[in-house]
Homo-oligomer: A and B are copies of this chain.
Amino acid sequence: MERGKAEGKRRQNAEYSPRTDLALEIRESFEEDDVEIRGVVLERNPGITEGIEISRVVIRDERGAAAMGKPIGTYITIEAPKLKSAGEEYKEQLSKEIAGQLREMCRDLRQKRILVAGLGNRDATPDALGPMVVDQLFVTRHLIREFGKDFKEKHGLADVSAVAVGVMGQTGMESFEILKGIIRETKPELIIAVDALAARNVERMNATVQLTDTGINPGAGIGNNRKALNEESLGAPVIAIGVPTVVDAATIVSDSMERFLNAQGFSEEENQQFLFEIRESARSGETGGLFVTPKNIDEAVKQISIIISEALNMCFTE
């Protein structure tokens, strides 16, 4: 395929791209011959633990950012496909991998004053990840203020505060406004924002963790565009930890149809035309605003929230 055509497709991809919050999936959606997109680097590494895969997408410049539709920065994806049927050991290893990647992303983590922000809706199970993680954290800021620096040093504690900010339908305020205010008042040096994401691939739901140093757009994956939470807007670096817990219903529909059409022997030209129309219709039609989630969503979110809170507690105390 010549250059021109590939470009054309990438544009189409951008316009009708299935909704996903995972940089890895956006990268995967590019054509084979686009692998060398300047400004976007992808490395895949197996984790230290068998059955855990770690990928790193680095968006280096504005060109990469435009192609990816994501800000410049590093996106680590930790995939744990065996999580559903895993034993305690695998889960603990997963926590350790997450903690290891976090420490690498922010080397002197334990020296910083950290605010963990749990985004999302406590009352809607697939969106409850952030609040559930916050509930399980070992917060210390008040103890350090009461007992002093010696206490902090003696116990090797990070200075940690945490808040579940709620969602706009409950508070009438944006997550951004609440966080911005709290940050002005308490002046943390690092924000760690935890949120539920949307993936494209159903296999990744509740089995994948994305870490990024670029911050987060709350609700972006499910179509709620809110003000970004990042260093520029909040005044302190923001590491975002996200887990896809849902897939957009329109994405499921258009991907299922794409697979079906590919299997029917239509010409590529015909497929492209169909897909264009299918996506248009899926986006605007009755599946808009709906998301797909597995039956055991309560168990799945509970499990991954424990894994992430243990990873954070490890980073904060060890």
A residues in contact (CB < 8 Å) with B: 121, 123-127, 134-135, 139-143, 160-164, 166, 168-174, 177-178, 180-186, 202-203, 222-224, 247, 249, 252-253, 256-257, 259-260, 264, 274, 277-278, 281-282, 285-287, 289-299, 302
Contact = CB atoms under 8 A, between A and B. Distances in A.
A256 B113 CA distance: 45
B185 A180 contact: yes
Contacts of A142: 168-169, 172-174
Please state the number of chain copies in the assembly.
Answer: 4
Given A172-B141, A290-B292, A163 B178 contact: yes
Given A184-B185, A185-B177, A123 B293 contact: no
Contacts of A224: 295
A106 B249 CA distance: 40
Given A202-B287, A291-B292, 20 more contacts: A121-B298, A123-B298, A140-B172, A142-B168, A161-B171, A161-B172, A163-B171, A177-B185, A178-B182, A181-B185, A184-B184, A184-B185, A202-B290, A223-B295, A253-B257, A256-B282, A289-B294, A290-B292, A290-B293, A292-B292
10 nearest A-B pairs in the assembled complex, by CB-CB distance: A181-B181, A141-B172, A181-B185, A161-B172, A139-B172, A123-B298, A124-B298, A181-B182, A253-B256, A125-B125
Contacts of A295: 124, 127, 222-224, 289-291
A124 B124 CA distance: 8
A173 B202 contact: no
Interface SS of chain A: helix, strand, loop or mixed? helix
A302 B249 CA distance: 23
A110 to B, nearest CB: 15
Contact of A256 (B141, B182, B281, B302): B281
Given A181-B185, A202-B287, A299 B173 contact: no
Contact of A125 (B124, B180, B223, B257): B124
A261 B144 CA distance: 42
A30 to B, nearest CB: 21
18 contacts: A123-B298, A124-B295, A125-B126, A141-B173, A142-B173, A163-B173, A173-B182, A177-B185, A178-B181, A203-B286, A247-B290, A253-B257, A256-B278, A256-B287, A260-B274, A260-B278, A290-B292, A291-B292
A45 B144 CA distance: 38
Given A163-B178, A253-B252, A278-B260, A297 B124 contact: yes
A20 to B, nearest CB: 15
B172 A181 contact: no
A259 B286 CA distance: 11
A244 to B, nearest CB: 13
Given A160-B172, A173-B186, A183-B181, A293 B293 contact: yes
